[in-house]
Amino acid sequence: MTTTHHYDILIIGSGTAGLTLALHMANDARVAVISKGQLEEGASLYAQGGISVVLDKTDSIQSHIDDTLKAGAGLCNEKTVRFTVEHARENIEWLIDQGVSFTRDGITSETYHLTQEGGHSHRRIIHSADATGREVETTLLDKAKHHPNIELLPFHIGIDLITSRKHLGQDENRALGCYVLDIKNNETKTLIAPITVLATGGAGKVYLYTSNPDVSTGDGIAMGWRAGCRIANMEFIQFHPTCLFHPQAKSFLISEALRGEGARLILANGERFMDRFHPQGELAPRDVVARAIDHEMKRLGHDCVYLDISHKPATFIKEHFPTIYKRCLSFGIDITKQAIPVVPAAHYTCGGIKTDLKGRTDIPGLYAIGETAHTGLHGANRMASNSILECLVFAKSAADDIKEQLPLTISAIVPHWDDSQVRPAKEAVAISHNWDELRRCMWNYVGIVRKTDRLYRAKQRLSLLQAEIREYYAQHHISPDLLELRNLADVAELIIRSALKRKESRGLHYILDYPNTDESKPPTETIIQAKVADHEALL
């Protein structure tokens, strides 16, 4: 059974980017926001650091721009960087107006406390203790829940975008909405809207180890690509060096602050190894530490390395790291007495659907914002705390652009989702097996340190997996796991193809066959152009 629902704006994703856009548009249009899980579940909720913004008198817009350009290793779009930084303060003030409570310098202080993170030359990170993402997400969600023009649809997962070219046979490729699976009722829905916005976050779950929540399966990037959008810079995946290695831990980061207080990275035999890779040892830059750990794991064939702070007094550890101590203890690891098993983890997708400064994609009526989009802000490496800022700035910019187009209507009759030729699956082992194999393949062959032969090996194995997924998809009823697996496979292809195109090491892309940055020509984006016809078998 399929039902049809009409809206002015359909937003796929309920993180900071999606909710910000919804609230900016709600007084002018009827908005639907879908989320494939709980409404608040997503990477935004778990962002600990803060949001970068120039507030201190000793800081400047130009300094923030320069720091971002430097972090992006020559690949940032300077126009995008300037646009983002110049609009930071007004968007922070908007958050405050919504009720977001940022940490102040003191109980009675009127100024906000600012921290300084890697890559920043000044204190410019406004934050809410160490749970900024949670404060922002829950505040915006509460506002959205109480707005009469916003309909929130949890446990709804996008299947595919509806376009005039694919579904109506027209030459123009305009977005018309999205086919959606209502997970709780096991019902497909046709959601029609003249404006569709992809705000589904990143794709960290394409890797075996990730700091991202389970929902980060690259759905928006994959759907946009299948619809015909250009995808840029997918080779640049940011990895955090130390994620807790435990089967039940799921995405728990071990803060770099431990290494700042003397924690040592060691192998299973107790040997330290970071001094062999960088004069600063454990305090080397994040990408260096991640590559060193990856190298040792591959060299020895080990599943993890260890982070040891047990040489410090137990009272010191409990006082300075109470959350980490309690979380590790819940998994049977007493960090006052034993080392913590850790692995690097996929953390942030710097590439995505290519957009302009208004969030517009190649397809009229389709926008992409947040981690799903590639705006040119991050270049080859994202600077700390620029991610939520990007969500805010581009959600507001997209809203301003959409308002100029209203009112919009769709008069065409869109066909319902057709599942008359498929049957229920008798077992799900094929999906779970392919899901696991895909993520292990990406981790081992397309991870932190790459080699051309490993990339081709991954490409070959992925083509076999995609054939199996296509066959299964064509024969069986859809399920959330199947849809996510299909999207992960598409994202994996984009990452592999992008990595093979870049014949140099730059930023987050490090390849042993080309260990140096190519300075002989201006740096360029890696663009993957998909044609809808390439994916007919998947739709």
Q: What is the set of active-site residues?
A: 286
Nearest to 431 by CA among 472, 462, 487, 492: 472
Phi, psi of 12 (to 5 degrees): -100, 100
Distance CA(156)–CA(13), nearest Å, equals 10
How are strands ordered across the β-sheet holding 31-35? 150-154, 31-35, 9-12, 195-198, 366-368
According to DSSP, residue 364 is labeled: T
Given a contact cutoff of 8 angstroms between Cβ atoms, the answer to whether 324 and 255 are in contact is yes
Distance CA(457)–CA(449), nearest Å, equals 15
How many CB atoms are closer than 10 A to CB 185?
Answer: 12
Distance CA(357)–CA(370), nearest Å, equals 12
CA-to-CA separations, 15 to 199, 515, 523, in angstroms, rounded: 7, 37, 32
| Tokens encoding 506 | 């730059």
Taking the CA of residue 221 as centre, how many other CA atoms within 13 Å lie in the half-sphere pointing to its CB? 34
Question: Any residues with CB less than 8 A from the CB of 470 and at least 6 apart, and which?
Answer: 537, 538
According to DSSP, residue 506 is labeled: B
Q: What angle do CA 486, 488, 490 make, to 5 degrees?
A: 75
Pairing label, strands 305-308, 264-266: antiparallel
Given a contact cutoff of 8 angstroms between Cβ atoms, the answer to whether 251 and 212 are in contact is yes
- The helix (run of H) or strand (run of E) holding residue 192 is strand 187-192
How many CB atoms are closer than 10 A to CB 122?
Answer: 17
According to DSSP, residue 81 is labeled: H
Given a contact cutoff of 8 angstroms between Cβ atoms, the answer to whether 365 and 195 are in contact is yes
| Tokens encoding 129 | 């203790």
Nearest to 351 by CA among 363, 367, 368, 364: 368
Pairing label, strands 366-368, 114-115: unpaired
3-state secondary structure of 162: strand
Distance CA(376)–CA(352), nearest Å, equals 10
3-state secondary structure of 33: strand
